[in-house]
Structures are given as structure tokens and as C-alpha cells.
Amino acid sequence: MQDDIAIKVEHVSKDFILPHEKVTSVKGLFTSAYQRRTKTKEVQHALKDVSFEIKKGEFFGIVGRNGSGKSTMLKMLAGIYQPTKGKIVTRGKLVPFIELGVGFNPELTGRENVYLNGAMMGFSEKQVDAMYNDIVAFAELEVFMDQKLKNYSSGMQVRLAFSVAVKAEADVLIVDEVLAVGDADFQRKCYQYFKSLKKNKKTVVFVTHDMNAVREYCDRAILIDRGNITYEGDPSTSANEYLKMFNTVAASETGRKDSKDRWGNGVLSFHSITSEVKKDELIIRAELVAKEDVDEVVVGFRIKDGTGQVLTGTNTTSSSYNNFSMRQKEKGELVCVMPNIFGNGVFTIDATARHGDGVTIYDNWDNAAAFSVIRHEKIPYAIVPRTTFELKK
């Protein structure tokens, strides 16, 4: 292994054997012994012959959809799981942040938990003594340290856990979406910590769904899909490839079924909703089918970001397009064009068709379609209006 390599993953495969009926008793072992040969065991191939290297001082991203095998990869890097085939060589002390506050016990006081959690990360009592005041100050929990952890709010627990975690002196850190928790203030601290890691040239393996974070922090990234590495290299390209996978996901379906996402009286309904992203325009096409005569129809769209936050919306009334009418059995396509002001990310579209009275809902379809935007600029915002600057003196 070369000197500048921190982690080397060689032809690693991981299978999980999922017995359809788990034998967890000795009796079961005997009674099922004669039929075990015929029983088919389901083998789940979480990772298939994966190889990559992480260099020292590199901020290395692992991206992939849920169930792609990236968490399994992470657990193997952390030594929690053993690979079925292949091998993983790590050099230097490795600290995993797969979860914050490992070993926290609700029955112990905050102080005792700091020592316990510290020990899990390899700190002796003396070492924790030396950094104890720092930890408490960073967590802003001075008054609460002698209270039992079970009386802490969840936010306080996370703060305490994070304050211990940032003290970890490791050559390699493995970080799994720690940023996903906590309030805005806490997230800001996390980002600061990340920046300091990057500045101090620590080797970091970072798993996330946040493509903006990948673009901002990572030097290199891999994209894992169904147990294989489908891309390795430039983080921006990885992020783009990842986002592209979502274009097909929410492709509109025909046939209407009432569900949490879809409801309405069905007098008028959407047959399909598709979206097309151009450099400057977003085009939404809605095919409508009327069961009976309808008039004063209002159709609207809402656009949400990856977290479900509504970013913007529009409808035929507010855009001063006249409310329209449709005859029985008539079909039509409504085309909506808006400027593409969206930043990098995956967006979903909710569609609603209703009567002008605002009470009668014909068809409400949440998450009817999705689109992703890939821009060359690294802009960590969901909406990017065209802006100009001018310096006047």
C-alpha cells in the first residue's frame, strides 16, 4: 500500500443472508434440520466487488440513494461489519460518527456520559478531564451537567454528543449525515467543524444526501447504485449523476387512485403530468380529462425542494390566464412555462385542479412529477434568480 493512501478497499462484496424463517432456538435447529437443504435462503447482495482508494487528507464523499449499499460500505469502513469477500485496509486511527452519542445512558448524568462517550472514542479519564470544560462550554450546558441525561431535551443531548465528538483525535473520520439533525444554530456549528476538518487536512469519509454539501466540501466522490460504484471522481459530476437518477423516479402514472397524495372528486382529473427542464425554462405539461362538463377551472402547481419545503407556486388565476371550461369527455393539455430559477437539486411538483369557488377540488395530486436541476456553478441555494451587480462610486 502506498504511503499516501488512508483507506484501500479491494474487491469488497457484502452479502446478507436473510433466512425466510430464522432459527433462533435450539429446538428449531433440530426440527428444521431435515428440511433445511430444500429451504431457499435469500441472499441480499448489498455490495458487489467494490474497489476504491481514499488518499490521506482527502475529503471523500459517498453518495447514493436509500438502499444503495452506502451505509453498509460505511459500516465496513468503520469495522462494524466484515466484508464477505475482499478486504479493507485502513491506516491510522479511525473514528466513526455513524451516530452521535454512542454509549449514552439516560440514567447517568451529563458529566458521567461525557466520560463514557469519551471512553468509547478512546479517551482516558485524564484526557477527558483536560477537555471537559471545553466540551461543556461548547455544548452550552454548564448548568445541566449534573442532571441525568433522561431529563435533557433531545436537542441538548445532541449538543452534548456533538461537543464530545468534535474532540475526536483521529486520522480518519467517518461521518454519516450528522448534519441532518439539530436546529439551524447547531447546523452552523457542524459546518464550521467541517470547514476546520478540511482546513486541517484530515481524511474524512462523508456520506450524505445533500449534494450541495458534496459539491462544497468533497475533493472526490463515488456514486453507489445497487451495490456497484457507478461513478468515481469529481464531486460535482457525482452529484449530477446522483440527481439524474431522480428524473425518472416520479414519472407520472396514468390511472387515478385515491391516496394520501391524490384526492378530489374526480369530475376533472389529471391524466399525466410531465416536466421538462431547459436551461432557462421549466415546462410543466398537464393532460386533463373531464368526466362531465366543468367550467371556471383553476389549475395550479406547487414546487417543493428535496425536503418537501414549498418554494413557489402558480395557478391559472394568479397568472391571469382565464379560468377555462371543458366539455364532457373532452381532453386537453395545459402547458405551463416558467423561468428556471432553481438551483442544484431535486424538486417535486404538486398539481391541483379545482373549481373557481375555491371549495370544490377536482383533483389534487401531490408529488405528481419530479425534476432535477444541474448547474455548473456551485450554488448552495434552492432558488437562484438571475442577478446583476453594479458598483457605483
Partner 1 sequence: MVSFRHIRQRYGYSVVLLKQLVKTDFKLRYQGSVLGYVWSLLRPLLLFVTLYLVFAKFLKVGSAVPHYPVYLLFGIVLWNFFGEVTTGSVGAVVGKSDLIRKINFPKYNIILAVSFSAIINLLLNFVVIAIFMIVGHVGISWHAVLLLPLLAELFLISLAMAFLLSALFVKFRDVSYIWEVLMQAGFYATPILYPLSRIPYHRVRELMLLNPLAQIIQDARYVLVTPTTTTIYQEFGGDKWIWLIPISIVLLLFVIGALYFRSRSKYFAEEV
Q: Which residues of this chain interact with partner 1, rule CB under 8 A?
A: 16, 24-27, 29, 75, 78-82, 93, 96, 98-99, 102-103, 105, 107-108, 112, 115-116, 119-120, 122-125
State which residue, 48 or 285, has the beta carbon closest to partner 1.
Answer: 48
Contact 215, 236 (CB under 8 A): yes
Task: Specify the residue, 119 or 341, whose C-beta has the smaller distance to partner 1.
Answer: 119
Closest approach of partner 1 to the CB of residue 115, in Å: 6
Task: State the Cα–Cα distance between residues 11 and 62, nearest whole angstrom.
Answer: 17
Closest CA to 329 of 290, 362, 363: 290
CB of 52 to partner 1, least distance (A): 20
Q: Which three cell numbers stand for residue 36?
A: 433445511
Nearer to partner 1 among residue 119 and residue 181 (C-beta)? 119
Between 127 and 312, CB nearer to partner 1: 127
Asked if 252 and 347 count as a contact pair (C-beta separation under 8 A), the reply is no
**Least gap, CB of 71 to partner 1 (angstroms):** 11
**Assigned C-alpha cell, 205:** 469519509
304 touches 311 (CB < 8 A): yes
Residue 146 Cβ vs partner 1, minimum distance, rounded to whole Å: 14
At its nearest, how many Å lie between partner 1 and the CB of residue 119? 4
CB of 15 to partner 1, least distance (A): 11
Q: Which is nearer to partner 1, 102 or 166 (CB)?
A: 102
Minimum distance from CB of 210 to partner 1 (Å)?
22
In the bound complex, what is the minimum distance in angstroms from residue 189's beta carbon to partner 1? 22
Nearer to partner 1, 122 or 155 (CB): 122
Q: How far is the CB of 16 from partner 1 (least distance, A)?
A: 7
Q: Give the nearer residue to partner 1 in terms of CB position, either 22 or 260.
A: 22
Residue 127 beta carbon to partner 1: minimum distance, rounded to whole angstroms: 9
Would you say 80 or 383 has its CB closer to partner 1? 80
Least separation in angstroms between CB 179 and partner 1: 18
Task: Please tell me the distance from the alpha carbon of residue 254 to that of residue 271, in angstroms, as a whole number.
Answer: 6
Secondary structure in 3-state letters for the chain: CCCCEEEEEEEEEEEEEECCCCCCCHHHHHHCCCCCCCCCCEEEEEEEEEEEEEECCCEEEEEECCCCCHHHHHHHHCCCCCCCEEEEEECCCEEEECCCCCCCCCCCEHHHHHHHHHHHCCCCHHHHHHHHHHHHHHHCCHHHCCCEHHHCCHHHHHHHHHHHHCCCCCCEEEEECHHHCCCHHHHHHHHHHHHHHHHCCCEEEEECCCHHHHHHHCCEEEEEECCEEEEEECHHHHHHHHHHCCCCCCCCCCCCCCCCCEECCCCEEEEEEEEEECCCEEEEEEEEEECCCEEEEEEEEEEECCCCCEEEEEECCCCCCCCEEECCCCEEEEEEEEECCECCEEEEEEEEEEECCCCCEEEEEEEEEEEEECCCCCCCCCECCCCCCCCCC
| C-beta closer to partner 1: residue 98 or 374 | 98
- Report how far apart, in Å, the C-alpha atoms of 99 and of each of 161, 184, 192 are: 9, 19, 19
In terms of CB distance, is 79 or 356 closer to partner 1? 79
Of 106 and 233, CB closest to partner 1: 106
